[in-house]
Chain A
């Protein structure tokens, strides 16, 4: 670990020396971020590999034992699976060889075969689930983020009555767990008002294909999960944006700009830009938690994404599927965080300046 830290420092210093002056700050920032991304990624893969193996029992035996106990498959199938996985995981080989095997397989997108949907490959299950998750969660989180920031900014700027109502409501909303919001939305709009379907990604009697009917079905099934994630994200973002904006509105540069005769509307523009920027980092830091909550919301709606895949994997003790979904989700969160960090570096000049210190 120490060696790695030293390496990281050395790399950063070398970069500082070589770069032309004007881009130095940015290069250093992005270099740092990429290095962190790679290191974190490696650690995440190692953890994903090692945590299940820290358990006293042989994972393959434990898995197949569970399978045999559940009586879901016949003895021959269990035996087949056992052999397949001993081969796949190489549990009889030394741990470092197991690790490289694991990495090699993962790099090829080979996560083995699913137990619960045997003999379907895990990569196939994940491949079809991830599309739904990405299509649901990212638009929902972004819309929630935008709306939340807008409301927070309004609350900070208008204050008085609007703020008095909006703040407690946002605080309360931000504390409703994502699954709770999902259940309430489902019951309210799906069961009682019957204005949207309550389960699945499309009508259960349809096969995914490109047709107007299918798209309509997908859109109507999209509504409840989407809005429940949006509502939950709004609350937290609004609260954060409000306090950031109030902080910025009291900043010295606001007073100074006013005394130079600049219009309030223009100054409000400065303030919200500055308050919004930390919210980008805020999003980067909370994206993991948000995705976690949204995955559980997927389960409530039986939405065919990674959350539901993970749920069925857990209930069916489908070890390869669990391992693969957690890895994919980690990668997803890492990539999003990385992108947000990079975007932030470009839009906030403070980042560049901070690199000179």
Chain B
């Protein structure tokens, strides 16, 4: 087992809406990522996966608020640190973020190199412009980006170029953990491939040591990450290796999610393609029992009232359902 790069323990955060209502978007999430590994998080939109990404940065500003839990990066617990300390020593250097809408992630009126200067100097105030430029040019070249990009404004770049630039800028300080929130969802297939290739390269060259990849496209995760977690209504409902999760999902929600997409692999052919009916619960008042019970076709009365803990099984896997693993598999095979 490799060195643990990122460990999250029972993390709880909430949103406060403009009507002063609390939305518990991340409700007790725990996981680990080892050095050199990547973890994918899948779920419908609104399940809390993007909030989870923001929450893991350890840097909170309204409307997001930290409640409890630990975020440990390479053995250092960053939750509870002074925000300015987090900003200076953690963000960008220990943990970096690639936002969902990279199209708008760069300041439109600033040259890329000026932004890189600001990023580097936020952590190394003494570094001079020449050094930063040399460093940026080298990294851009290595990642297959033209150094001329540095002297352009964000508005002059195409969508795919913007996204790749954002990835290069995010990782310029060699963070230990990279959190990518749907980095490729808005792109065309070619750009998507380039983005994925770039992220692989970053891992292989050791510029980043671990990665958390968030998406609603499961086939993508299967190709990109080592492990996959499925998130529903602010909680992790199942965790396993990519292969296990795609070909052998246990939780009814994961099962439904796999059924709702086409995976062009053997064994899935002929499987019904159908979205899961219903909508996720209101996270202002999360239900006491299983959060998926309302939409689950296998749910019993007990499911709605019994709080369900994470249940480990198999080789380091976990799921969150009242029913046993075998019981569930039997039901699925009967369909």
A and B touch in the complex (CB under 8 A): yes
* B103 neighbours in A (Cβ, 8 Å): 252
B148 to chain A, nearest CB (A): 11
Per a CB cutoff under 8 Å, which of B61, B101, B155, B166 touches A258? B61
A253 interface neighbour in B92, B107, B119, B156, Cβ under 8 Å? B107
Residues on A with C-beta less than 8 A from B107 are 253, 257, 270, 274
Once bound together, how far apart are the Cα atoms of A262 and B115, in whole Å? 10
Once A251-B104, A349-B155 are accepted as A-B contacts, the answer to whether A259 and B97 lie under 8 Å apart by CB is: yes
Q: How many residues of A contact B (CB 8 A)?
A: 24
Residue among A261, A266, A348, A349 with most chain B CB within 10 A = A261
Q: How large is the interface on B (under 10, 10 to 19, 20 to 34, 35 or more residues)?
A: 20 to 34
Give A262 Cβ to nearest chain B Cβ, in Å: 5
Please, which residues of chain A bring their CB within 8 A of the CB of B303? none
**Residue A260, interface by CB 8 Å:** yes
Q: Smallest CB–CB gap between A274 and chain B, Å?
A: 6
Inter-subunit contact A349/B122 (CB<8 Å) = no
Q: How far is the CA of A31 from the CA of B318 in the complex (A)?
A: 65
Contact present for B169 and A349 (CB under 8 Å): no
Flag if A256 contacts B59 (CB, 8 Å).
no
Contact in complex: A350, B122 (CB < 8 Å): no
Residues B93 and A350 in contact, CB atoms below 8 Å apart: no
Is B229 in the interface zone, CB < 8 Å from A? no
Of chain B, the residue at the smallest CB distance from A261 is B91
Q: Are A256 and B123 in contact (CB under 8 A)?
A: no
Q: How far is the CB of B37 from chain A (nearest CB, A)?
A: 22
Instruction: State whether B155 touches A350 (Cβ < 8 A).
Output: yes
Which of B108, B153, B155, B169 meets A260, CB within 8 Å? B169
Q: Tell me the chain B residues, 254-269 only, with Cβ under 8 Å from chain A.
A: none
A88 to B92, CA, bound (A): 75
Contacts of B122 in A (CB 8 A): 260-263, 266
- Of chain B, the residue at the smallest CB distance from A254 is B107
Q: Which of B40-66 contact A (CB under 8 A)?
A: 57, 59, 61
Q: Is the CB of A261 within 8 A of B99?
A: no
Does any Cβ of A come within 8 Å of B88's Cβ?
A: yes
* A residues 86-128 touching B (CB-CB < 8 Å): none
Q: Which residues of A contact B225 (CB under 8 A)?
A: none
- A256 near B155 with CB under 8 A, answer no
Distance in angstroms from B83 CB to nearest chain A CB is 10
- Nearest-neighbour CB distance to chain B for A56, whole angstroms, equals 54
Given contacts A260-B170, A261-B90, A277-B109, 20 further A-B contacts (CB under 8 A): A252-B99, A252-B103, A252-B104, A256-B99, A257-B107, A257-B118, A258-B59, A258-B91, A259-B91, A261-B87, A262-B122, A263-B122, A270-B107, A270-B109, A348-B109, A349-B153, A349-B156, A350-B108, A350-B155, A352-B153
A-B contact pairs, 22 of them (CB 8 A): A253-B104, A253-B108, A256-B99, A256-B105, A257-B107, A258-B61, A258-B91, A259-B96, A259-B99, A260-B119, A260-B122, A261-B93, A261-B119, A261-B123, A262-B122, A270-B109, A274-B109, A349-B108, A349-B153, A349-B156, A352-B156, A353-B153
